Amino acid sequence: MRKIGIIKFCLILLLFSNCAPTLKQPQLPKEAIEEERIKQEEIALFSYLEKEQRLYRVGLPLLKGALNYYNKKPNISFGIIVHNKNTYKKEQLEIIRKKYIVEEQPTILYLHPDFGAYKAGLKINDKII
């Protein structure tokens, strides 16, 4: 009976030792890791902004079309998304500035082509005074 327990213990020990990694992981330089982190953060931030703009592009015409069914006075929309440096975290500012002007003063992030701001001639990165 005791031999069976010892055999089971040896088999379990052998099984677990086979699960251990046999190759050493290569050490990557910290600069490469930091560079990859920044790239991933940039991809995440810009894909988030693209999704937000797509939602705005699709949603505003739907809301405009549903005004006939709305009983209260609707809010006025000029068809723009505005941002400034307080919109983002400090770490994101360096990334967002690669594509957009971001300062203390609000600037235009997105213009919907069917609304008044676009038709008035405003452009992305214009400052709002």
Q: Is residue 25 part of a domain?
A: no
Q: Is residue 123 part of a domain?
A: yes
By three-state DSSP, how is residue 36 classified? helix
Q: What pLDDT is stored for residue 27 in this prediction?
A: 86
Q: What pLDDT is stored for residue 1 in this prediction?
A: 64
Q: Which residues contact 109 (CB under 8 A, 6 or more apart)?
A: 49, 53, 80, 81, 82, 83, 100, 124
Q: What pLDDT is stored for residue 4 in this prediction?
A: 77
3-state secondary structure string across 77-107: CCCEEEECHHHCCHHHHHHHCCCCCCCCCCE
The amino acid present at 129, given as its one-letter code, is: I
User: In the chain, which stretches have pLDDT less than 70?
Assistant: 1, 18-22, 74
Q: Which residues contact 110 (CB under 8 A, 6 or more apart)?
A: 52, 53, 56, 80, 81, 124
Q: Is residue 90 part of a domain?
A: yes
Q: What pLDDT is stored for residue 44 in this prediction?
A: 95
Q: What pLDDT is stored for residue 116 in this prediction?
A: 83
Region of 21 on the Ramachandran plot (φ > 0 left; ψ -120 to 50 alpha; else beta): beta
Structural domain harbouring 42 = 31-69+76-129
Q: Is residue 63 part of a domain?
A: yes
Q: Is residue 26 part of a domain?
A: no
Tally of domains within the chain: 1
By three-state DSSP, how is residue 41 classified? helix
